[in-house]
Structure 1
Amino acid sequence: MRDHRRDGIPPGNLPLELDTFVGRGAQLAELARALDSARLVTVTGAGGVGKSRLAARAAARRAPRDGVWRVQLAPVRDEEFVDYTVVEALGLTDHTTRLPRETLLAHLAERELLLLLDGVEHLVEPCAALVADLLGHAPGLSVLAVGRRPLGVPGERLVPLAPLSTEEAVELLTVRAGQRGVTCGYDADPDADQREVHELCRRLDGIPLAIELAAGRLGVLSPGQVLRRLDDRFRLLTGGDSTALPRHRTLRTAIGWSHELCTPPERLLWARLSVFAGPFDLEAAEYVCSGDGLPADEVLDVLTALLAQSVLTREESPAGTRYRMLDTVRAYGADWLAATGDADRLRRRHRDWYVGLATWCELEWFSPRQGEVAARVDAELPNLRSALEHCLEEPDGAHLGQYLAGALWFHWVGCGRLSEGRHWLEQAVRLDAEPTAGEQSRLKALWVLAYVAILQGDTVPALAALQECREEAERSANPTAVAYAEHRTGCLALVSDDMPRAERLLRSALHRYREIGELNSNVLMGQVELAMTRAFQGDLPDAVRLCEDVRQVCDDHGERWARGYALYVLAYAAWSDGEPVRARELLADCLGSAHRFRDQLGSVLAVELLALVTVAEGDASEAAVLQGAAGRMWPSVGLPLFGSAHYNAPHELCEAAAREQLGDERYEECVRHGTRLGRREAVARALRRPGVPVSPPAPRTAAGGRAATAARTAKPAASPTRKGGETAG
Structure 2
Amino acid sequence: MRRTSRPTDVPAGPPQPGNLSHELNRFVGRAAELAALVAALESGRLVTVTGVGGVGKSRFAAHAAARLPRSLCPDGVWRVELATVRLPELVEYTLAEALGLTDHTTRAPRQVLVDHLAERRLVLVLDGFEHLVDACASLIRDLLRAAPGLRVIAVGRRPLAVDGEQAFPLAPLTPADAAELFADRATALLPGFQLDGRTLIDVLEVCRRLDCLPLAVELAAGRLRVLSPPQLMERLDDRFRLLRGGGRDALPRHQTLRTTIGWSHELCTPQERLLWARLSVFSGSFDLEAAEYVCGGESLLADDVVDVLDELLAQSVVVREEARGEVRYRMLDTVRAYGAEWLDSLGDGRRMRRRHRDWYMGLATWCELDWFSPRQGEVAARVETELPNLRAALEHCLTEPGETHLGQYLAGTLWFYWAGCGRLSEGRHWLDRSVGLDVEFDDGDVCPGFVDEDTEYGASRLKALWVLGYVAILQGDTVPALAALQECREEAERTGDATALAYAVHRTGCLALVTDDMPRAEDLLRTALAGYREIGELNSNVLMGQVELAMALAFQGDLAEAVALCADVRQVCEDHGERWTLAYALYVLAYAQWMEGGYAQARGLLDECLAIDHEFHDLLGTVLSMELLALVTLEEGDAAEAAVLQGAAARMWPSVGLPLFGSAHYNTPHERCETQARQALGDARFAELARSGEQLEHDEAVARALSRGRRQRPTTAVPHPARLAEPVGQKREPAASRTWKGGETAG
Three-state SS of the structure 1 residue aligned to 2:225 is coil
Counterpart position of 1:124: 133
Q: In the alignment, is residue 710 of structure 1 matched against residue 720 of structure 2? A: yes
Give 1:235's aligned residue: 241
Aligned to 1:59: 65
Q: In 2 relative to 1, CA 689–158 (structure 1 residues): closer, same or farther, beyond 3 Å?
A: farther
Q: What does residue 51 of structure 2 align with?
A: 45
Q: Give the Cα separation in 2 of the matches to 1:552 and 1:239.
A: 65
CA contact (8 A) 2:187 2:194 kept: no
Task: Give the corresponding residue for 2:740.
Answer: none
Partner of 1:324, secondary structure, is: strand
Provide closer, same or farther for how the CA distance between residues 391 and 239 of structure 1 changes in structure 2, counting only shifts above 3 A.
closer
Contact 1:621 1:697 (C-alpha < 8 Å) held by counterparts = no
After TM superposition, the structure 1 = structure 2 runs for residues 248-647 of structure 1, keeping only pairs within 5 Å, are 248-318=254-324, 320-433=326-439, 436-437=452-453, 439-640=458-659, 642-647=661-666
The answer to whether 1:97 aligns with 2:103 is no
Query: How far apart, in 2, do the equivalents of 1:480 and 1:717 lie?
Result: 37
Greater Cα shift, 632-641 or 251-260: 632-641
Partner of 1:722: none
Kept in 2, the 8 Å contact 1:18–1:57? The answer is no
2:660–2:667 CA contact under 8 A, matched in 1: no
- The question of 1:161 aligning with 2:170 is answered yes
In structure 1, the residue matched to 2:736 is none
1:219 positional shift: 2.1
Deviation at 1:614, TM superposition (A): 1.1
- Aligned match for 1:77, one of 86, 89, 93: 86
- Structure 1 vs Structure 2: percent identity of aligned residues? 68
Q: Tell me the equivalent position of 2:739.
A: none
Note closer, same or farther for the CA distance 1:532–1:365 as it changes in structure 2 (3 Å cut). Answer: same
Alpha carbons of 1:479 and 1:237: their partners in 2 closer, same or farther (altered >3 Å)? closer
What is the identity, as a one-letter code, of the residue corresponding to 1:671?
A: A
Indicate how the Cα distance of structure 1 residues 8 and 627 shifts in structure 2: closer, same or farther if over 3 A, else same.
Answer: farther
Q: 1:150 to 1:353 in 2, by over 3 A?
A: same
Mapped contact 1:73–1:120 kept (Cα < 8 A) = yes
1:256, 1:649 → 2: CA distance?
A: 67
Q: Equivalent residue for 1:726?
A: none
**Deviations, residues 222-271 of structure 1 (Å, cap 9, x unaligned):** 12222211221112244863211111111111111111111111111111
The verdict on how the C-alpha distance between 1:470 and 1:625 changes in structure 2, with shifts beyond 3 A counting, is same
Structure 2 segments unaligned to the other structure (5+ residues): 1-11, 441-450, 728-747
CA shift digits 1:641-691 (9 cap, x unpaired): 74210110001111112111111111111111111111111111111189x
Decide whether the 8 Å contact of 2:243 with 2:263 is kept in 1: no
Amino acid corresponding to residue 377 of structure 2 in structure 1: G
Q: Secondary structure at the residue paired with 1:157?
A: strand
Q: For residues 539-568 of structure 1, what are the alpha-carbon distances to aligned partners after superposition, in whole Å with 9 as ceiling and x for unaligned?
A: 112111111111111111111100111111
Does 61-70 or 168-177 show the bigger shift? 61-70
Match 1:113 to one of 122, 146, 152 = 122
Tell me, yes or no, if the aligned pair for 2:244 and 2:258 is still in contact at 8 Å: no
Say whether the 8 Å CA contact 2:103–2:424 is kept in structure 1: yes
Higher alpha-carbon deviation: 576-585 or 383-392: 576-585
Maintained 8 Å contact 1:22/1:171: yes
**Paired residues of 2:118 and 2:147 also in contact (CA < 8 A):** yes
Say which SS state the counterpart of residue 621 (structure 1) adopts. helix
TM-superposed deviation, 1:8: 3.4
- Contact conserved, 1:453 with 1:462, CA < 8 A, in 2? yes
**Are 2:673 and 1:667 equivalent residues in the alignment?**
no
Question: Which residue identity lines up with residue 514 of structure 1 in the other structure?
Answer: R
Does 1:218 pair with 2:229? Answer: no
Runs of 4+ in 1 over 6 A off after TM superposition: none
The amino acid of 1:709's aligned partner reads: P
Aligned residue in 2 for 1:727? none
Which stretch shows the higher mean deviation, 278-287 or 8-17? 8-17
Unaligned runs of 5+ in 1: 1-5, 719-729
What's the TM-score once normalised by structure 2's chain length? 0.91
Q: Report the CA distance between 1:353 and its aligned residue.
A: 0.8
Tell me how far apart the structure 2 counterparts of residues 233 and 123 of structure 1 sit (CA, whole Å).
Answer: 32
The 3 A distance-change label for structure 1 pair 238 and 426 is closer
Q: How far apart, in 2, do the equivalents of 1:321 and 1:154 lie?
A: 43
After TM superposition, give the deviation of residue 717 of structure 1 in Å. Answer: 11
CA contact (8 A) 2:404 2:437 kept: yes
**Which segment drifts farther, 657-666 or 346-355?**
657-666
Q: What letter corresponds to residue 38 of structure 1 in structure 2?
A: G
Q: Which moved more, 1:240-249 or 1:305-314?
A: 240-249
Q: Distance in 2 between matches of 1:328 and 1:148?
A: 12
Whichever residue aligns with residue 543 of structure 2, its letter is L
- Alignment-derived partner of residue 212 in structure 2: 206
Alignment equivalent of 2:182, drawn from 168, 173, 180: 173
Distance 1:319 1:519 in 2: 32
For 1:352 and 1:254, how far apart are their aligned partners in 2?
34
Counterpart for residue 721 of structure 1? none
Q: Is the 8 A contact 1:184 1:222 kept in 2?
A: no
Q: Which amino acid aligns with 2:641?
A: E
Q: Is the 8 A contact 2:563 2:589 kept in 1?
A: yes
Aligned equivalents of 1:239, 1:585: Cα separation in 2: 67
> Alpha-carbon deviation of 1:411?
0.7
The equivalent residue for 2:4 is none
For the residues of structure 2 that align with 1:642 and 1:564, how far apart are their CA atoms? 18
Q: Distance in 2 between matches of 1:39 and 1:717?
A: 59
Distance 2:694 2:226 in 1: 60
Q: Counterpart of 2:223 in 1: which secondary structure?
A: coil
For residues 726 and 695 of structure 2, the distance between their equivalents in structure 1, rounded to whole angstroms, comes to: 28
Q: CA deviation at 1:618?
A: 1.2
CA contact (8 A) 2:245 2:258 kept: no
Q: Deviations over 1:142-199 (max 9, x none)?
A: 111000000000100111111111111111111112222444459xxx5222211111
Residues 68 and 113 in structure 1, CA contact (< 8 A), matched pair in contact too: yes
User: Does the residue aligned with 1:710 lie in a helix, a strand or coil?
Assistant: coil
User: How far apart are 1:105 and its partner, in Å?
Assistant: 1.1
Contact (CA 8 Å) 1:535, 1:717: kept in 2 or not?
no
CA distance in 1, matches of 2:464, 2:64: 45
CA displacement, residues 424-468 of structure 1 (integer Å, 9 cap, x when unaligned): 111111222258146000011010000011111111111111111
Q: In 1, distance between residues paired with 2:244 and 2:509? A: 69
- Post-superposition offset of 1:11: 2.6
Deviates more, 1:111-120 or 1:56-65: 56-65
Q: Within 5 A, what are the aligned runs for 1:143-154?
A: 143-154=152-163
- SS for the counterpart of 1:256 is helix
Q: Distance in 2 between matches of 1:149 and 1:60?
A: 23
Which letter does structure 1 place at the counterpart of 2:645? L
Deviates more, 1:246-255 or 1:223-232: 223-232
